[in-house]
Amino acid sequence: MSETDTRTTEETETARRPGRERGREDGKFGRYGGQYVPEALMPAIEELTDAYERYVLDNEDGFMDEFRERLADFGGRPTPLQRADRLSERYDTEVYLKREDLLHGGAHKLNNALGQVLLAKYMGKERIIAETGAGQHGTATAMAAAHLDMPCTIYMGERDINRQRPNVFRMKLNGSEVKPVTTGRGTLKEAISETMRDWAETVEDTHYVIGSIVGPHPFPVMVRDFQAVISEEAREQAREKTGGLPTDVVACAGGGSNTMGTFAHFVDDEDVALHAVEAGGSTLEVDEEAGVAPNSASLFAGEEGVLHGARTKLLQDSDGQIMESHSVSSGLDYAGVGPELAYLVDEGRVDPVAVDDDAALEGFHRLSNTEGIIPALETAHAFGYLEEHHEDLGERVVVNVSGRGDKDLDAAIEETDQRDVANAPDMSMFTGGM
Amino acid sequence: MANSDALDAAFADGPAYVPYLVVGDPDYESSKAYVEALDRGGADVIELGLPFSEPIAEGSTIQEALVRSLDAGMTPDRFFAFAEELEVDAALVCMTYYNLIYQYGKGEGPRPFVERAAAAGIQGLVVPDLPAEEADPLREACDEFGLDLVFIVAPTTRGDRLDRMMANVSGYVYVQARLGTTGARDDVSDQTTASLDRLSGYDVPKAVGFGISTGDHAERIVAGGADGIIVGSALVDVVAEGVAADLSTAEVADRLEALSRELKGGAERGHRSRTGTVESA
């Protein structure tokens, strides 16, 4: 018996998969990442780094075992990898759907929220705070906090509160307090800034559950590790169902948590192409004067800078002021992106692509009426990409269905009504046409 | 020892009064009158805020001032022009966030910003979101152009982090009086005394900020061992009240000058009680 044979499969796997663990040591992804935070937050960041290494990486006190058990029992994992028969036929390629829309709460967000709230509990924290944009991360955090009996405060921009009332109710139903953020323009980036301010005053007993692979180290690696369960399952499921790895993996990208979760276990599989689909909004042009980028394509169109604790790619003006981003899907509406994705794009490992609002809406309707799955508008961008670029893809494609679209029905009907979407049903009797 | 003689001088002779205002709040010309009023009120160093769109270290008072300034069209280049036009005796320090410093370089790092700041008469920088670990390129540029790099020490900063910071700091150290973000408060925290004790072994002036709004606060802080007081939100509040009540620029400037005299006077009383100097009759 050779020496390598005595190692467990898991050890062998880890040893040859360095990409899967990128950034764990110092929070750096090439030139990106880091810890650009006010000094008052540094002790909290150091305490969190220590807890991440002990509980998440070393499974101290059986943390990861409990996390996985709760993901199964409370969350409903594993989620299926399903063959999409009609899309496969349409594109003449094998299309598989990773069904994160079937996770409890209807989106991948719970993987991270449950992991972080549980970690806060292991750390002895007594209170949870989180920011939310469209409300998906807020609702997932509120669910996890209720499940684990932790008091929770969610910061949400006033404008987003008005756009996303059902999600506000969901958070309140789960017992969370929702605090409106009125400063600035009242959207996600202001909510993140406001949550960081709360944390700066309350670090001793409070944990900040950040919603994506953004922010200072250790958040980008920690959130990736919690979300990596998506690709861990998908990689195994693909091998079982198809006898091999996919040729392409596709995920939508806002801040990047579902993206990195879907890519993490494939990063070292060099033959698997990784496509990050960003919101192209109405146009990729920016309006410097107004400080508005009518898209959220920071990987595709952004430039290097420092925001919310990390060096990454940003939508900013020539002075370095952060732009107001825009997308038909509020969940992708963020001017930055996780530093690890910025790095993987520069390295040529991840292919960044932008899909505009129109194509995303077509994707929304196509998945709904061909496969019986109503996707989130975020997710719909991935299907817009599939329609536009299926000829460039290989013979076996995995697409992450990051969330279900129930939350987006009002927005989808309204946006469809404003356009001529070829494959949309006639909804005029429900909108202006009555 | 500071890189800048002006900052050395500001702390050499009694307690330093270090006021902060956002440049361009609520507009360029009024803001110039306000900064000059601080100078007449006895400022030794003036911290000039260059607004960034995502100021994560600021409380609501200063954040709203930053928004007013940005809405009125403030940019880094206009900020430097403003600094050049000022007629003040106080030393000038620029307080801003790292992304603006970095972007100014157009791919060449922080050096072009520091070079321009030096040309505009700025003697130091405070960058609240730049930790000592990431500060090397800025530190080098500051040394090259004779600027000081001021770090903020929090009530929770100790051990290796404190040592690393103190190895990089020059000019003065900004002692954050309590946890949280900027904003005027009625209490002056016990955390201040503990922070000053922790810093007593380091040979650099200690200026205390966060929450100071009256002459009495200033007196207690300086009596407790501070070499200077930093006042931001209380002054920005005066500007905000002027905007809300539609006061004339001259009226707001007078109020800023009067509050400055009160704060500076408090600091001097605190210094006398600490050093046991008896006022001559």
Angle formed by the axes of helices A109-122 and A63-73, nearest 10°? 140
> Distance (Å) from the C-alpha of residue B54 to the closest C-alpha of chain A?
7
Could you tell me the pLDDT band of residue A55, with boundaries at 50, 70 and 90?
Answer: very high
CA–CA separation, A353 vs A386, rounded Å?
A: 11
ipTM of the complex: 0.91
The residue among A162, A189, A223 that closes a domain is A223
Of A86-95, A151-160, A379-388, B31-40, where does mean pLDDT reach its minimum? A151-160
Could you tell me the pLDDT band of residue A6, with boundaries at 50, 70 and 90?
Answer: very low
Collapsed DSSP state (helix, strand, coil) of residue B179: coil
Clarify whether residues A373 and A425 are in a common domain. Answer: yes
Give the domain range for residue A113: 42-74+109-223
pLDDT at A7: 46
Clarify whether residues A364 and A321 are in a common domain. Answer: yes
Could you tell me which of A109, A279, A201 has the C-alpha nearest to residue B58? A201
Of B191-200, B219-228, B272-281, where does mean pLDDT reach its minimum? B272-281
Could you tell me the pLDDT band of residue A434, with boundaries at 50, 70 and 90?
Answer: very low
Token look-up 């909108």 returns A431
CA–CA separation, B241 vs B26, rounded Å?
A: 11
Could you tell me which of A298, A212, A300 has the C-alpha nearest to residue A256? A212
Q: What is the mean pLDDT of residues A16-38?
A: 89
Clarify whether residues A214 and A267 are in a common domain. Answer: no
Name the pairing type of β-strands A152-157 and A127-132: parallel
> Distance (Å) from the C-alpha of residue A47 to the closest C-alpha of chain B?
12
Beta bridge partner(s), residue A303: A314
Beta bridge partner(s), residue B230: B18
Residues of B identified as active-site:
47, 58
Residue A197 in any domain: the answer is yes
Residue A36 in any domain: the answer is no
CA–CA separation, B226 vs B19, rounded Å?
A: 15
Clarify whether residues A68 and A207 are in a common domain. Answer: yes
Token pair for B256: 């800023």
pLDDT at B74 over 90: yes
Clarify whether residues A199 and A233 are in a common domain. Answer: no
At position A5, the amino acid (one-letter code) is: D
> Distance (Å) from the C-alpha of residue A179 to the closest C-alpha of chain B?
15
Could you tell me which of A180, A103, A188, A193 has the C-alpha nearest to residue A143? A103
Nearest CB to B180; choose among A183, A200, A321: A200
Could you tell me the pLDDT band of residue B1, with boundaries at 50, 70 and 90?
Answer: low
Contact between chains at B56 and A184 (C-beta distance less than 8 A):
no
Chain A hits for B96, Cβ within 8 Å: none
Q: Identify which has the larger pLDDT, A6 or A75.
A: A75
pLDDT at A271 over 70: yes
> Distance (Å) from the C-alpha of residue A253 to the closest C-alpha of chain B?
22
The number of distinct structural domains making up chain A is: 2
Which 199-258 residues of chain B touch chain A by CB within 8 A? none
* DSSP E strands, A366-432: 396-400
pLDDT at B281: 38
pLDDT at B222: 94
Residue of B nearest to A32 (CA): B134
Contact between chains at A35 and B75 (C-beta distance less than 8 A):
no
Could you tell me the pLDDT band of residue B136, with boundaries at 50, 70 and 90?
Answer: very high
Clarify whether residues A277 and A413 are in a common domain. Answer: yes
Phi then psi dihedrals of residue A158, to 5 deg = -60, -40
Give the residue from B52, B64, B75, B103 with the most A CB atoms within 10 Å of its CB, the best one to mutate. B103
CA–CA separation, A44 vs A59, rounded Å?
A: 21
Beta bridge partner(s), residue A319: none
Q: Are B131 and A42 in contact (CB under 8 A)?
A: yes
Q: What is the mean pLDDT of residues A319-345?
A: 90
Could you tell me the pLDDT band of residue A16, with boundaries at 50, 70 and 90?
Answer: low
Cα A338-A341-A347 angle, rounded to 5 deg: 145
Clarify whether residues A270 and A370 are in a common domain. Answer: yes
Token pair for B101: 């410093």
The residue among A223, A246, A265 that closes a domain is A223
pLDDT at A433: 41
Q: Identify which has the larger pLDDT, B123 or A200.
A: B123
CATH 3.20.20.70, domain B5-270, yes or no: yes
pLDDT at B179 over 90: no
The residue among A197, A223, A249 that closes a domain is A223
Q: Identify which has the larger pLDDT, A40 or B32.
A: B32
Residue A140 belongs to domain with CATH number: 3.40.50.1100
> What share of chain B in percent tops pLDDT 90?
70
Q: Are A400 and A393 in contact (CB under 8 A)?
A: no
Residue A314 in any domain: the answer is yes
Could you tell me which of A355, A361, A359, A354 has the C-alpha nearest to residue A411? A361
Contact between chains at B104 and A320 (C-beta distance less than 8 A):
yes
Chain B hits for A46, Cβ within 8 Å: 161
Residue A97 in any domain: the answer is yes
Nearest CB to A308; choose among B56, B76, B104: B56
Cα A97-A99-A102 angle, rounded to 5 deg: 160
Clarify whether residues A99 and A48 are in a common domain. Answer: no
Clarify whether residues A360 and A331 are in a common domain. Answer: yes
Distance from the Cα of residue B149 to its chain's centroid: 12
Token look-up 């005595």 returns A6
Clarify whether residues A400 and A318 are in a common domain. Answer: yes
CA–CA separation, A386 vs A93, rounded Å?
A: 11
Cα A271-A272-A275 angle, rounded to 5 deg: 135
Nearest CB to A203; choose among B52, B54, B179: B179
Q: What is the mean pLDDT of residues A403-407?
A: 92
Name the pairing type of β-strands B45-49 and B91-95: parallel
What confidence tens digit (pLDDT) does each residue in A137-191 have? 999 999 999 999 999 999 999 888 887 888 999 999 999 999 999 876 777 888 9
Beta bridge partner(s), residue A400: A98
Q: Give the burial class of B106: count Cβ atoms within 10 A of its Cβ; 0-12 exposed, 13-18 middle, 19 or more buried.
A: exposed
Q: What is the largest CA-CA distance in chain A?
A: 77
3-state DSSP helix/strand/coil % of chain B, to nearest 5? 50, 15, 35
pLDDT at B191: 73
Q: Give the burial class of A57: count Cβ atoms within 10 A of its Cβ; 0-12 exposed, 13-18 middle, 19 or more buried.
A: middle
Q: Identify which has the larger pLDDT, B14 or A259.
A: A259
Residue A363 in any domain: the answer is yes
Clarify whether residues A236 and A212 are in a common domain. Answer: no
Clarify whether residues A211 and A259 are in a common domain. Answer: no
